[in-house]
Amino acid sequence: MKILVYAQETQSYVEALRQVAPDAEIHGASTLEEAEPYLEETEALFAWGVRTETFARMPRLRWIQWLGAGVDMIVRQLPADVALTRTVGAFSTVMAEHVFAYLLALRRGVFEMRAMQQDHVWRRLTGTSLQGQRLGVAGLGSIGSEVARVGRAFGMEIWGLSRTPQGRGVCDRHFTPGEMPEFAAGVDALVLVLPATPETDGIVDRNVLSGMREGSILINVGRGNAVVERDLVAALRAGRPAMAQLDVFEREPLPPESPLWDLPNCFISAHSSGPSEPHLVRSFAAANLQRFLTGEPLVGLVDPKRGY
C-alpha cells in the first residue's frame, strides 16, 4: 500500500503509521512540490491543508484521513469514490477548556478585575457562579458532548441541539436546528460547535439573537458561517447577548475594519480554541489505518451529503 502524509511536520506521522503498516510505502511532504513524485501512486492520504485540486491528480486514491476535525474545506470537492474520515476526539478536551476559560472569566469578572488592577482601583467584585445556570450546546459531536460533560460537572443544566437525536443522552433537553430560536432564548450561555453546512449557514441571526436572555453569553468555537456577524454586532450593541466570545468568523483572518474588534463586550481569539494535539491526532490516524487495513469500520467517516 502506498501512503502519503501531507502536513507541516510529517516525520512523526510517518513513524506512527509505519508502526501499524510496516510493509507499506509511506512518504511525507509539507509542500506540493515535495508531494509531486508520489501523487499518482498514492492510495491513502493523511493530510491537512492540501489543495483540493490535487485530488484530480491522484487516480489511485481510495481514502483521505483528514488531520483536523472540520472538513468543510474539502468535502464538497471530494471524489465520489474516495472515503473521507475526520479526526474525532483529539480536540475535545482543549476546546472545552477554552469554552470554560471564557465562561468562568466572564461570569467571575476576571477582565474587569484586571482592568481595576491596572487602574489601581480597590473595589470588590464577586461575579456569579456557573452552578444552576443553563448551558446550551449547539452541536453534540465529540467536542460538544465534552462541553456538555464539563458543564454538568459545574452543576449546570444542559440543553442540547443537534440534527439527530444521538446527543439526547448528554443533555437534559434536546432540540433540533429548526428550534434554534426557542433553544437560544432559554439558555444563559449558548455555545456553538456546529459544522459548516448549508443547514447551519446563518442559523444564529437577528431573530435568534434578539430573543436571547438578558445577561446571556454567546461562544462560537464551531464555524463562522453559523453567525450572521452584522446581526451580532447590532445585538451586542443592544446588550442581547450581553457578551460574546468568538473564535471563528465569516472571513478569516477577521478583517481589521470589522466592528467586532472594538466592541467592549466581544472577546476575540484567532481560531485557536482547538490547538493541535499532535500525539492524539497521530494515535487516531494510526488506529484508523489499522482499521482500514483489516477491513473494520473507520471512525469519523464523513457523509458527503451532510458535510460532516
The whole-angstrom separation of Cα 102 and Cα 267 is 9
Active site residue 279: no
Q: Give SS3 for 231.
A: helix
Q: Of all residues in the chain, what percent are helix, strand and coil, respectively (each to 5)? A: 40, 15, 45
The whole-angstrom separation of Cα 293 and Cα 299 is 13
Other Cβ atoms within 10 Å of 299 Cβ, number: 15
The whole-angstrom separation of Cα 20 and Cα 291 is 10
The closest of 6, 72, 1, 82 to 37, measured between CA atoms, is 6
Name the phi and psi angles at 267, rounded to 5: -120, 120
Q: Which of 27, 120, 271, 279 is catalytic?
A: 271
Task: Give the cell for residue 101.
Answer: 476559560
E strand map for 110-250: 134-138, 157-161, 173-175, 189-192, 217-220, 243-246
Are the C-beta atoms of residues 196 and 171 closer than 8 Å to each other? no
SS (H, E, C) 154-178: CCCEEEEECCCHHHHHHCCEEECHH
Active-site positions read 271
